[in-house]
């Protein structure tokens, strides 16, 4: 075929936007002998078109400089249309075997008419829509049938443009493939001649591009959702021009509308004033030494509240060699609040732990003291305060209230807990021996002193010395004890060398020492030395809340010893216990429970009511001299004192001392009133308190 030389003029190729039409135009004009100048922004793409022109027998020149804007696209399409209008059918068939490739994208070319027919098409187009050449020849491929219904309005607008101007600008649409699938394409076309019925169309398959766009959108959606879930937004900072980039999640974290342009000034506005130095140092280091940024600080929200954020940015060089930072901003408010809550709970736990330890101390760790009543808790609180000190303690209270256990609790909570706890009941030692018992004696100090003996003060060296019933001490012993308290030294009986006393003294009594001082039976100066820290143990009648706990403990204790199994306490028994005054206090309760366990024949604990019918002896700790009492009270007073001392008349623990009269006088009155003192010896009172109070 002879080449048409009427189109030997320059045609420029624009490699963006209408690159497909430009490539087709260049190839077509090369076919008809036009000298084509190929220009574009990408050298490789332009070279590919130039190679295609040369293979078709045309001539062309590649111009690297971008001159694509010198020629109007419409004019280029017009020349393409004019060129095609002069092609014979043989050449039209030739275009189907010359698939035009531009870069990595194949271009489909087809000749169509307004009746919906596709007169000719190259293999690239047929491949796009999954038809073959036979389908085309037999007329089974019509462009109107390939167009889905929703795209027909867009085709109608393109046809209208073709009728008016002879060209249609490229637009996106979809074709239906032979298998019913949809193929996204970019279509541009022109009539062979204005007002004609046929034209040429250039089609680009956008499937890969659309898939890539879809994947990108999906990836962006996943990224946005993951940022939202992780409270982490992306951000960027171009150091050279100061431009900032924030993702949608970053805007949400800082509480600013996405339409707001991020700037460094805006950053300073939202950073908490107390944290601006931290951020400033991080930015200065980044700008000076290109260091990565890692900063935790607070930002102020529009409502005045603040958030904790963690900013991490990595330094990179962009394509221009400028320094940029790319990183992430994480909202760590919840984490920080959790840590603050943990710290708060830790502090609270520490406080509660201390309180619990004090409560445990008060409830159970004071050796064997049982009870939770307010009076007992007050006593235990005082024990906690005085135990760590080395101060002298005076414990007062009725008989049977557990004064020695209080003393042991003080000792075990003191710094001397690792040393000895030595106790002496002053009322149980004859007055003639009490001095030697406390301070010791030298050999030959008195008749029967065959060897030297260490006193209790020496045995308690470094530990605690407990003087029970200190009100029963003789005047001579009171003087010696006063010297120990004043000078911390003593001498053995018959000795001449002073001995250093390294003990903590705790004294106890059930007597009213102030009344004893008034009667001349106790030294006031000794009282004030002993009464440094007084603790009064409440009687059981003032601790009624503790009676069920004590009862249950004693039942468990004695039942275990006796091999009995008791599973409960009768309601009536418990009510009886709580209404009884318990003149003998806990010691009496212990004895009643032990007696009841012995005789109990069922699994339910009960007590004989007759055992609690009579009130016990008077609970007053000190009885006034008998001479001050009415004569009618003498018999009751004497019998009460004899019962309390188990029939003993004389001695430090005798009834005469309790009544404040000489023993000879008491003997006379017993004979005068015909009181049988032997009956009181038969009901021997139980020994020292031995049950555990926890």
Cα angle 76-80-83, degrees, rounded to a multiple of 5? 135
Residue 525, pLDDT above cutoff 80: yes
The per-residue pLDDT for 48 is 62
Of 353 and 676, the structure prediction assigns the larger pLDDT to 676
Output the CATH code of domain 19-205. 3.30.450.20
| Reported CATH class of domain 366-536 | alpha beta
DSSP 417: T
d(CA 386, CA 649): 38
Residue 626, pLDDT above cutoff 80: no
Of 405 and 53, the structure prediction assigns the larger pLDDT to 405
Residue 539, pLDDT above cutoff 90: yes
The per-residue pLDDT for 571 is 83
The per-residue pLDDT for 156 is 93
| Statement: 540-612 belongs to CATH 1.10.8.60 | yes
The per-residue pLDDT for 12 is 31
d(CA 317, CA 319): 7
Q: How far is CA 448 from the centre of its chain?
A: 74
The per-residue pLDDT for 29 is 44
d(CA 532, CA 245): 76
Q: What is the DSSP string of 259-322?
A: TSPP-HHHHHHHB-GGGHHHHHHHHHHHHHH---EEEEEEEE-TTS-EEEEEEEEEEEE-TTS-
Of 588 and 78, the structure prediction assigns the larger pLDDT to 588
Mean pLDDT of 269-279: 88
3-class secondary-structure state, position 252: helix
Q: How far is CA 579 from CA 52, 401, 615, in A?
A: 119, 18, 12
The per-residue pLDDT for 182 is 93
Structure confidence by residue, pLDDT tens digits, 22-56? 455 455 444 444 444 444 444 555 566 566 656 65
d(CA 657, CA 672): 19
The per-residue pLDDT for 337 is 86
The per-residue pLDDT for 352 is 62
Mean pLDDT of 173-178: 93
Of 682 and 222, the structure prediction assigns the larger pLDDT to 222
The CATH superfamily of 212-331 is PAS domain (3.30.450.20)
Mean pLDDT of 220-224: 76
Of 119 and 226, the structure prediction assigns the larger pLDDT to 119
Banded model confidence at residue 92, pLDDT cuts 50, 70, 90: very low
Structure confidence by residue, pLDDT tens digits, 407-423? 999 998 899 988 888 88
Which residues are CB-neighbours of 581 under 8 A, at least 6 positions away? 541, 615, 616, 619
The per-residue pLDDT for 143 is 92
Residue 496, pLDDT above cutoff 50: yes
Q: Between 634-644 and 663-672, two packed helices, what is the crossing angle to 10 degrees?
A: 120
Residue 508, pLDDT above cutoff 90: yes
Mean pLDDT of 565-572: 83
Of 202-216, 247-261, 392-406, 439-453, the least confident: 439-453
Query: Hey, which of 73-82, 95-104, 200-209, 669-678 has the most confident mean pLDDT?
Result: 200-209
The per-residue pLDDT for 387 is 92
d(CA 377, CA 373): 6
For the chain, give the mean pLDDT. Answer: 76
Of 23-27, 75-79, 404-408, 685-689, the least confident: 685-689
Q: Which of 430, 487, 484 has its CA nearest to residue 457?
A: 484
The per-residue pLDDT for 240 is 79
Which pTM value belongs to this model? Answer: 0.40
């Amino acid at each position: 075929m002879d080449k048409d030389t009427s189109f030997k003029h320059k045609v420029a190729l624009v490699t963006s936007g209408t690159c497909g039409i430009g490539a087709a135009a260049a190839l077509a004009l090369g076919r008809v002998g036009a000298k084509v100048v190929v220009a574009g922004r990408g050298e490789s793409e332009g070279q590919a078109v130039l190679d295609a022109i040369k293979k078709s027998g045309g001539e062309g020149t590649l111009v690297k400089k971008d001159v694509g804007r010198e020629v109007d696209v419409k004019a280029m399409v017009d020349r393409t249309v004019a060129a095609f209008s002069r092609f014979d059918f043989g050449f039209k068939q030739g275009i189907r075997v010359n698939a035009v490739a531009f870069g990595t994208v194949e271009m489909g070319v087809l000749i169509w008419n307004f009746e919906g027919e596709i007169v000719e098409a190259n293999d690239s187009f047929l491949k796009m829509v999954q038809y073959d050449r036979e389908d085309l020849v037999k007329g089974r491929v019509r462009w109107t049938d390939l167009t889905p219904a929703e795209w027909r309005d867009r085709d109608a607008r393109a046809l209208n443009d073709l009728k008016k101007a002879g060209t249609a600008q490229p637009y996106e649409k979809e074709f239906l493939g032979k298998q019913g699938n949809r193929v996204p394409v970019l279509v541009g076309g022109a009539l062979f001649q204005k007002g004609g019925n046929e034209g040429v169309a250039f089609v680009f398959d956008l499937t890969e591009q659309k898939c890539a766009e879809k994947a990108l959108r999906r990836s962006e959606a996943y990224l946005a959702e993951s940022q939202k879930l992780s409270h982490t937004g992306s951000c960027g900072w171009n150091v050279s021009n100061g431009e900032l980039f924030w993702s949608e999640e970053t805007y949400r974290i800082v509480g600013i509308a996405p339409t707001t342009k991020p700037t460094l000034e805006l950053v300073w506005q939202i950073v908490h004033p107390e944290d601006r130095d931290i951020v400033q140092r991080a930015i200065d280091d980044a700008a000076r030494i290109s260091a990565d940024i890692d900063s935790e600080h607070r930002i102020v929200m529009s409502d005045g509240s603040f958030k904790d954020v963690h900013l991490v940015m990595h330094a990179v060089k962009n394509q221009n060699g400028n320094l940029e930072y790319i990183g992430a901003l994480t909202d760590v408010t919840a984490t920080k609040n959790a840590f603050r809550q943990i710290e708060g709970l830790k502090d609270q736990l520490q406080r509660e732990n201390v309180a619990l330890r004090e409560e445990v101390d008060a409830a159970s760790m004071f050796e064997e003291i049982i009870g939770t009543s307010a009076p007992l808790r007050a006593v235990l609180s005082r024990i906690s305060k005085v135990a760590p000190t080395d101060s002298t303690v005076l414990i007062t209270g009725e008989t049977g209230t557990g004064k020695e256990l209080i003393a042991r609790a003080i000792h075990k909570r003191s710094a001397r807990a690792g040393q000895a706890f030595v106790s002496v009941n002053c009322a149980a030692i004859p007055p003639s021996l009490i001095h030697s018992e406390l301070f010791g004696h030298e050999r030959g100090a008195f008749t029967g002193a065959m060897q030297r003996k260490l006193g209790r003060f020496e045995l308690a060296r470094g530990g605690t010395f407990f003087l029970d019933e200190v009100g029963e001490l003789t005047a001579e012993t009171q003087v010696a004890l006063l010297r120990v308290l004043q000078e911390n030294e003593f001498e053995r009986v018959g000795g001449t060398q002073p001995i250093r006393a390294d003990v903590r003294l705790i004294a106890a009594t059930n007597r009213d020492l102030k009344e004893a001082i008034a009667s001349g039976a106790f030294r006031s100066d000794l009282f004030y030395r002993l009464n440094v820290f007084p603790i009064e143990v409440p009687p059981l009648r003032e601790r009624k809340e503790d009676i069920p706990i004590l009862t249950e403990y004693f039942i468990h204790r004695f039942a275990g010893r006796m091999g009995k199994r008791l599973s409960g306490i009768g309601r009536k028994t418990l009510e009886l216990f709580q209404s009884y005054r318990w003149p003998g206090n806990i010691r009496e309760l212990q004895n009643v429970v032990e007696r009841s366990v012995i005789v109990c024949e069922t699994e339910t604990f009960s007590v004989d009511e007759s055992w609690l019918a009579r009130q016990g002896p008077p609970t007053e700790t000190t009885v006034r001299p008998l001479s001050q009492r009415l004569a009618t009270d003498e018999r009751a007073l004497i019998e009460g004192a004899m019962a309390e001392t188990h029939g003993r008349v004389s001695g430090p623990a005798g009834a005469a001392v309790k009544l404040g009269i000489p023993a000879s006088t008491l003997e006379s009155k017993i004979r005068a009133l015909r009181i049988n003192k032997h009956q009181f010896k038969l009901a021997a009172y139980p020994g020292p308190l031995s049950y555990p109070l926890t």
